Amino acid sequence: MEYYSRQISRLIRELSALPGIGAKSAQRLAFHILNMPEDAVEALSASITDAKRNVRYCRECYTLTDEELCPICRDGARDHKVIMVVENTRDLAAYEKTGKYEGVYHVLHGAISPMLGIGPNDIRLKELMQRLTKEVNEVIIATNSSLEGETTAMYISKLIKPAGIRVTRIASGVPVGGDLEYIDEVTLLRALEGRTEL
């Protein structure tokens, strides 16, 4: 990339470090940004730095939010006695898009993976257990159907069941290894409605 000036090369390098952005896309984005009006570029860079500075974990469900409690946890109309456990905030968004789930969530921020050395203490599992001291009717485990997701589901169910709380797992209509965020809403709803007892 020596044929670009230093600052253009730097912009391309930073962009290509993002997931899913290859060298070609990074170049296309870089030149697009250079052609944008200055205030639009400033708005873009401010949105990145503001989000990075202000986004934190919700005190209750640990999703990413810019307030102490996320809008879902603050919503009194939601059923706070049903908790759906998901791997990340994008999975939460996928279920929210269906508009049919009325409970609340718990975001683990990962899944147990002995192969990658990720254990129960590396995800927000302790925080989930702490929430279960309050009155909870059901915990729906909606981790991915990957090996890691299944391992995590089994682990959580073994942990929770002795407490006498109903534990369910979303149906396996979800393709194996499929990231929840890429699955369409109908499939997600079917998986939720067809959930089984663990």
Q: Where on the chain is the footprint of Zn ion (CB under 5 A)?
A: 58, 60-61, 70, 73
How far apart are CB 11 and Zn ion at their closest, in Å?
Answer: 35
Report the residue number, 87 or 150, with the smaller CB distance to Zn ion. 87
- At which residue do the structure tokens 């789930």 appear? 101
Report the residue number, 14 or 75, with the smaller CB distance to Zn ion. 75
3-state helix, strand, coil in the chain (%, to 5): 50, 15, 35
Q: Which two tokens stand for residue 82?
A: 């049903």
Report the residue number, 123 or 174, with the smaller CB distance to Zn ion. 123
Report the residue number, 58 or 140, with the smaller CB distance to Zn ion. 58
Q: For residue 5, how far is the Cα from the chain centroid? A: 38
Burial pattern 63-84, b for ≥16 Cβ within 10 A else e, equals bbbeeeebebbeeeebebebbb
How far apart are CB 61 and Zn ion at their closest, in Å?
Answer: 3
SS3 105: strand
Report the residue number, 61 or 123, with the smaller CB distance to Zn ion. 61
How far apart are CB 123 and Zn ion at their closest, in Å?
Answer: 16
SS3 27: helix
How far apart are CB 71 and Zn ion at their closest, in Å?
Answer: 8
How far apart are CB 85 and Zn ion at their closest, in Å?
Answer: 13
Report the residue number, 60 or 87, with the smaller CB distance to Zn ion. 60
How far apart are CB 29 and Zn ion at their closest, in Å?
Answer: 32
Q: With contact defined as beta carbons under 8 Å apart, do 69 and 60 qualify?
A: yes
| Phi, then psi, of 105 in degrees rounded to 5 | -125, 165
Q: With contact defined as beta carbons under 8 Å apart, do 63 and 107 qualify?
A: yes
126/134 Cα distance (integer angstroms): 14
